[in-house]
Amino acid sequence: MESSTWVERYRPRNFEDFKGQIEIIKRIRAFVEHKNVPNMLFAGPAGVGKTSVSLIIAKELYGENWRENFLELNASDDRGIDVVRNTIKDFARTKSIGDAPFKIILLDESDSLTRDAQQALRRTMEQYSNSCRFILSANYSSRILGPIQSRCSVFRFKPLNKEEIREIITNIAKHEKLRVDEKAVDALFELCGGDVRRLGNILQSCASVEKHITSELIYKVASYADPKEVKDILNLAVKGEFIKSRDLLLNVMLRDGLSGIDMIKQIQKEIWNLQVDDVKKLFMTEKCGDIEFRMVEGSDEFLQMEALIASFCKK
């Protein structure tokens, strides 16, 4: 059955269809052809093909019944040590099905695994290396413990360049009968960078409105995902209405499931649209940077956000 989401419908099914990451694909194809895949770490930003490559590897190795020998887990949802001790271990220690030489576990977003979980993973990777191989994907390889990195071949995925993005857009447009303006391609590239998942989502949302894709439409649709209240939060803060500002902030964060970092990104962009003088804008931006840094080091995101808006309240 064909998926309703374009992200799935146009996900590359084999190495030939894959766009970008040419060198990486070459290496991995060689691994697959020799039916010998090491433990691997795929590092790189979102939507550049880390998961797609993993799925292709599984399909090439196992054919039709790939799902039986392939376990996909998302560490950002289950990030504790229990996942490693239970789910992963149970899958890893049983024999692979059919004539497959080993099973594969894809651990997506593994940089969000806790330290303890990573420690536990390290032994598991070794103990079951006969029956199971790991693919870890991560945005930041620096958050993966050294001992784990040393047990993996590390591949660095790059964002897709504009030509590659254009090819993907052209392909989708052909199948979905869309007319995409040249300026719209620029807009998509500007908004998504090299993130193909985001590209697919925005394009499909646009197409649900109209088949003729213009840059205006794209900017409009892309902004749907941004909370509308950011401006109000900032204006309240600048006016010195701290309590109102923070109540709104907490509600928006909880309602939309946004992290402190998500929120600070939005605020930092919105500052430049405010009706305050430029020197203050610069000061506010500097504060964003300070607080973002503290947030990474600290423990309470919401408190850090409060510190940020309190600094805006000051005359």
Partner 1 sequence: MLLIDKYKPVSTSEIFGQDKAIAELKKHIISKKPVIILGKSGTGKTSSVYALANEMNYEIVESNSSNIRNKDGIINFLGSASLQQSLFYNGKLILIDEVDGIAGNADRGGVSAITEIIKKSPFPVILTCNDNQSKNFSSLKKLCKIINFEPPSYNVLFEFLKDISTKENLGIKEDLLKSLAIKSNGDARAALLDLEFFRYGDFSDTSFLLRDTTHELSNVLRVLFKSKNVRAISEVFDSLQEDLDEINLWVDENCPKEYSGEDLASCFDSLSKADVFNGRIIKRQYYRFLVYRRIFMSLGVGLAKKEKKIGQVDYSRSSRILKMWIWNNKNLRKKSISEKIGKVIHASNKKTFKEFIFYKHLLNDKSFINELELNEDEIEWINKN
Enumerate binding residues for partner 1 (CB under 8 A): 1, 3-5, 7-8, 46, 51, 55, 72, 74, 76-77, 108-109, 197-198, 201-202, 204-205, 208, 224-225, 240, 242-243, 246, 250-251, 254-258, 262, 291, 294, 297-300, 302-304, 306-307, 310-311, 313-315
CB of 218 vs partner 1, minimal distance in Å: 13
Q: Is the dihedral of CA 104, 105, 109, 114 positive or negative?
A: negative
Cβ count near 274 (within 10 Å): 16
Nearer to partner 1, 3 or 36 (CB): 3
For residues 97 and 225, which CB has a smaller minimum distance to partner 1 in the complex? Answer: 225
Give the residue with the Cβ less far from partner 1, 129 or 244: 244
- Smallest gap from Cβ 275 to partner 1, in A, equals 20
Q: Which two tokens stand for residue 11?
A: 């996900």
Nearest CA among 108, 67, 21, 213 for reference residue 202: 213
For residues 231 and 265, which CB has a smaller minimum distance to partner 1 in the complex? 265
Please, what is the end-to-end C-alpha distance for the chain in angstroms?
60
Phi then psi for residue 135, to 5 deg, are -115, 115
Least distance CB 251 / partner 1 (angstroms): 7
Hey, what are 15's tokens? 């190495």
- Compare residues 87 and 205 and give the one whose CB is closer to partner 1: 205
Q: Is 162 helix (H, G, I), strand (E, B) or coil?
A: helix
Residues 6+ positions from 291 with CB-CB distance below 8 Å: 264, 304, 305, 307, 308
**From the CB of 88, what's the least distance to partner 1, in Å?**
17
Q: How far apart are CA 177 and CA 203, in angstroms?
A: 12
DSSP class of residue 193 equals: T
Pick 146 or 257: Cβ nearer partner 1 = 257
Q: Provide, rounded to whole angstroms, the least separation between the CB of residue 159 and partner 1.
A: 17
88's tokens: 């992963």
User: What would the two tokens of residue 134 be?
Assistant: 């790991």
Beta strand 179-180 pairing with 212-213: parallel
